[in-house]
Copies of this chain bind each other. A is one copy, B any other.
Amino acid sequence: MNREKIRELLENVKAGKTGIDEALRALKSFPYKDLGYAKIDTHRDLRRGFPEVILCRGKTIEHIEKIVESLSPETDFIMATKADKAAYEAIRKVQKDAVYYETAHIVLIGKARRKKSTKTILVITAGTSDIPIAEEAVVTAEIMGNAVDRVYDIGVAGVHRLFDNSEKLFDANVIVVVAGMEGALASIIGGMVDSPVIAVPTSVGYGSSFEGLAALLSMLNCCAPGVVTVNIDNGFGAGYFASFINHMGEK
């Protein structure tokens, strides 16, 4: 898929440096590690600018442990999301220096990316209960080399708290809004600011919030343009995308 690599390969074939069977193998041997139960994309860092991330939810403790073990020799940087205490303990057995961001449910091995963006991502929550998902976004974005600011518990039931923080709102380069229940905060902020807003519905609420469905539909139907949505409780996805566009003007 990488044009330059293919050209080089073809040139080597032409020059006789690379045999045809070898070339065929090369085209096949894209760099990943096959554990049978998992194929670890060891070079995604190069391709995508960020290494593959382990989603712990749904995986057995054994699988998580072995995936980390197998990744360790390849990279000095491993990130795991939706990791509960047990997942963290399993990882720490393999990697003593693993750090656990407890609220964010993220485990990190290795240093966060160094070069910080000069522009800020602002992560906002409607309520206190939305904080774990917000922290997932914050930690993700920080690891990916962003300056991140937090404004938590600013929900629409007390809009003046929002206006009090309006400076932060207007200064942010990218905004992540994390809200459960009716998710209205995304619309309000989307209508105020001049920067892209990534809305994260959360499963916070009860009754007809239907595990985040109310917030999700609300955010998708946001009448203010400039707002996009990710999956319910997907703090990682929001932080990742926010980092993506926060770095856009950089090169």
- Chain A residues with CB under 8 Å of chain B are 1, 3, 6-7, 10-11, 13-14, 16, 20, 23-24, 27-30, 32, 35-39, 41, 44, 47-49, 52-53, 55, 57-59, 63, 67, 82, 126-129, 131, 150, 152-161, 163-164, 166-167, 170, 173, 180-184, 186-188, 190-192, 194-196, 198, 201, 203-234, 236-237, 240-241, 244-245, 248-251
Contact = CB atoms under 8 A, between A and B. Distances in A.
Q: Which 7 A-B residue pairs are closest in the complex by CB-CB distance?
A: A249-B249, A207-B232, A58-B129, A184-B184, A214-B217, A228-B228, A184-B187
Contacts of A245: 196, 245, 248
A135 B128 CA distance: 25
22 contacts: A1-B166, A7-B24, A28-B163, A39-B153, A41-B158, A52-B157, A53-B225, A55-B129, A63-B128, A126-B223, A155-B223, A156-B187, A156-B190, A157-B191, A159-B191, A181-B223, A182-B217, A182-B219, A196-B245, A208-B217, A208-B231, A228-B230
Contacts of A194: 47-49
B220 A230 contact: yes
A27 B3 CA distance: 11
Contact of A205 (B48, B49, B128, B221): B221
Given A164-B28, A226-B244, A218 B218 contact: yes
Given A1-B160, A226-B244, A20 B30 contact: no
Contact of A3 (B11, B36, B167, B219): B167
B156 A223 contact: yes
State the oligomeric state as a number of copies.
Answer: 8
Contacts of A131: 37
A214 B208 contact: no
A153, A157, A222, A240 pick with most chain B CB within 10 angstroms? A157
Nearest to A203: B207
A88 to B, nearest CB: 17
A68 to B, nearest CB: 12
